[in-house]
Amino acid sequence: MRFTVTQTPPTDDLPQDENKLIAERRDKLKAIREGAGVAFPNDFKPKDRADQLHQAHGAATKEALEAGEKIPASIAGRMMLKRVMGKASFATVQDATGRIQAYITKDVGEDVYEAFKHWDLGDIIAVEGHMFRTGKGELSIHATSIRLLTKSLRPLPDKFHGMQDQELKYRQRYVDLIMDEAARTRFAARSKTLSAMRHFMTDNGFMEVETPMLHPIPGGANAKPFVTHHNALDQQMFLRIAPELYLKRLIVGGFERVFEINRSFRNEGISVRHNPEFTMMEFYAAYWNYQDLMDFTEQLLRATAQQAVGTLQLQYQGREVDLSQPFARMTIREALHAHTDIGAHVDDAAELISRLKKLGLSEEKDKLSTRSLASLQVLYFEEEVEQHLWAPTFIMEHPTEISPLARANDARPEVTERFELYITGREMANGFSELNDAEDQAARLQAQVASKDAGDDEAMFYDADFVRALEYGMPPTGGCGVGIDRFMMLLTDSPSIRDVILFPALRHEA
């Protein structure tokens, strides 16, 4: 089936010279459509990749490549550089693995060679020929055949400066990936990270599962959900804020070790650390507690980093992060002693409230006088300590009132057997001994409902089915969630979460 273009699509609000270039490329495409050839052929299958050719022949001398039988080569990719020099020309072709130069003469046919001179940077071409070295010693393909596979209608950014506008990189990630090898490397590292995590989990007896992304009741975290409507069921639904409650249902069902690499959604602010949709890896293990989880999480991140980027000595924004050393562990109280001058006042609620007010918190907004001592301590920790936790550090014993799904500490029931892992001053993971007392869980969820009725739109809903599942009995269990996006910021030395998400959330274009 052939479609005829009856109207030129808009070319956006581009500079006049760029609109002119697009118009010229459209005219070239029109000429191809009106000629005898196929405008967008799809019958070419490259036999080689750029990096394979460099690996196989990169050490070969000019004489060795020219001796004996010629070494065939067949590649396809985007033309990134082009030098037309009369009887001979050069083109740099980029595929998914890298770049290689093609040497093009009238050996490809006089008509084809003449057509090549009018091809543009960004066009996707096929090159067949044999390997050789140029007079300057560059490994190249001496082309005997070239074809235009895809006509690029928009000019690429300037080859020397690339894309300078950071928001444009996020909005047009496809161009960013074409132009920036570092961007391609960054996202290749993300793929390796996810693969390494999967292997580590399955090697340790965990089963990968999939749980719903559309929830009738949002749960598993204190967060504001995205709301939608299911027409066939005629009911309100919520995008997943966390997979936790479904994964614990599976522990009840008898799967003793489960994990899910999941996409979750929270209708909250956007910042260098926050995107409304993000990726977590959550895992649950029966007969583990939060101490077991900390041991395992440390091993998981260390093994994953080694596999993904090949080192445990990382550089982040000019400072070293060493994942090879044991991760520090301290309670919130210990962290306050270590990083503030609170001293003996650490258990003085009035002093904590006074200090929090000096930091800009208020009674009206933050309800300071109604908070427990443990809650005031964690609030002061968040304001004054988090940013100082550069080396990997587990912070333990979070307040029970803000940890509705975590098991309370037997000796200090006002705090839970919970930890958060901080690296470079950012939370990377959150885990705890799971609450498996169905009656206690029901009471805690009822307290969350009361908070929601009082105006807390991040408080949890009451999930009767989850409570019912616990009533069947869940073994002692530990569970943890690891933030993949923030971990990738660390592994790839990226200052913003948008740098490690292929298509981050952005406002509509004007």
Instruction: Tell me the C-alpha distance between 415 and 401, whole Å.
Output: 8
CB 480 within 8 A of CB 282: yes
Which has the closest alpha carbon to 422: 329, 506, 352? Answer: 329
Kind of pairing, strands 393-396 and 328-331?
A: parallel
Instruction: Tell me the C-alpha distance between 392 and 427, whole Å.
Output: 10
Give the start-end residues of each E strand in 287-425.
313-316, 319-322, 328-331, 393-396, 418-423
Token pair 């800009």 is at which residue? 360
Which has the closest alpha carbon to 294: 122, 493, 428, 489? Answer: 428
List Cβ neighbours of 365 (8 Å cut-off, separation of 6 or more): none
Q: Which long-range contacts (CB under 8 A, 24 or more apart) does 34-41 make?
A: 39/151, 40/149, 40/150, 40/151, 41/147, 41/149
Q: Is 420 marked as binding a ligand?
A: yes
Q: Is 427 marked as binding a ligand?
A: yes
Instruction: Tell me the C-alpha distance between 74 and 1, whole Å.
Output: 29
List Cβ neighbours of 333 (8 Å cut-off, separation of 6 or more): 346, 347, 377, 397
Please count the residues of the chain: 510
Instruction: Tell me the C-alpha distance between 206 and 260, whole Å.
Output: 10
Q: What tokens appear for 408 in the block?
A: 């309370």
List Cβ neighbours of 154 (8 Å cut-off, separation of 6 or more): 22, 25, 122
Chain-centre distance of CA 291, in angstroms?
28
Beta bridge partners of 420: 395, 430
Instruction: Tell me the C-alpha distance between 24 and 17, whole Å.
Output: 11
Amino acid identity for residue 179 in this structure? M
DSSP3 helix / strand / coil % (the chain, rounded to 5): 35, 25, 40
Binding-site residues from annotation: 420, 427
Binding-site residues from annotation for Mg(2+): 420, 427
